[in-house]
Amino acid sequence: MPVNVGDNHYDRLEQILLGEQWQDVFDDEAAFRETSEEATQNAVGNEEWRETSGTLRVTTEVVDGEQITIVAF
């Protein structure tokens, strides 16, 4: 799911991109999955190439055998 760095709505996902463990950021697995799914749904239909002069960050978390990839710029 794409996340815009500095978007307060997804600040907990940004914390994971910066190295925090999802277990330390979210109360439980359900809250992490809910936020991840919401971010993905908000991105569907809004896909476009964007130029950036900053850093592209990517991380993959595995939750109960499922990979969740977070991308931010």
Q: Give me the DSSP letters along 16-57.
A: HHTT--HHHHSSSHHHHHHHHHHHHHHHTT-------SS--E
Asked if residues 26 and 32 have their Cβ atoms less than 8 Å apart, the reply is: yes
Does residue 23 or residue 51 have the better pLDDT?
23
pLDDT of residue 24: 95
Mean pLDDT score of the chain, rounded to an integer? 83
pLDDT of residue 1: 53
Mean local confidence (pLDDT), 14-24: 92
Q: What's the alpha-carbon Rg for the chain, to the nearest Å?
A: 12
- Single-letter code of the amino acid located at 11: D
pLDDT by residue (tens digit) across 20-37?
Answer: 999 999 999 999 999 988
| Distance from C-alpha of 62 to C-alpha of 47, rounded to nearest angstrom | 24
Confidence band for 16, pLDDT divided at 50, 70 and 90: very high
